[in-house]
């Protein structure tokens, strides 16, 4: 979110794959969700990486979806190549 222009970013979808306590209780207070256009989808039990990405992809509303894992930090301008598609 810090490296993506606000006019480009439609939403951030976080899939909580069965963590305890839920991410919504530990990392995402309501003001953060609103400020960064974030939705949290939760699996009650762990489904795994591919299942979590499918859940997020199915819920996405944008024309282009990008999947970033927790260890990925986009670099400045990372989105420009996608916008040329």
Residue 1: the pLDDT is: 62
Q: What is the pLDDT of residues 10-51, one digit of tens each?
A: 899 999 999 999 999 999 889 888 888 899 999 999 999 999
Region 50-54 average pLDDT: 96
Residue 41: the pLDDT is: 97
Share of the chain above pLDDT 90, in %: 49
Q: What is the pTM of this model?
A: 0.84
Residue 17: the pLDDT is: 96
Annotate 31-68 with b (16+ C-beta within 10 A) or e (fewer): eeeeeeeeeeeeeeeeeeeeebbebbeeebeeeeeeee
Residue 7 has φ and ψ, to the nearest 5°, of -75, -15
């Amino acid at each position: 979110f810090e490296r993506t222009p606000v006019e480009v970013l439609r939403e951030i979808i976080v899939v909580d794959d069965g963590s305890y306590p839920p991410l919504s209780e530990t990392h995402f207070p309501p003001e953060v969700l609103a400020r960064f256009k974030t939705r949290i989808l939760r699996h009650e039990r762990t489904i795994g990486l591919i299942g979590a990405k499918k859940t997020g992809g199915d819920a996405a509303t944008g024309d282009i979806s990008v999947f970033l894992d927790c260890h990925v930090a986009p670099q400045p301008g990372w989105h420009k190549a996608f916008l040329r598609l």
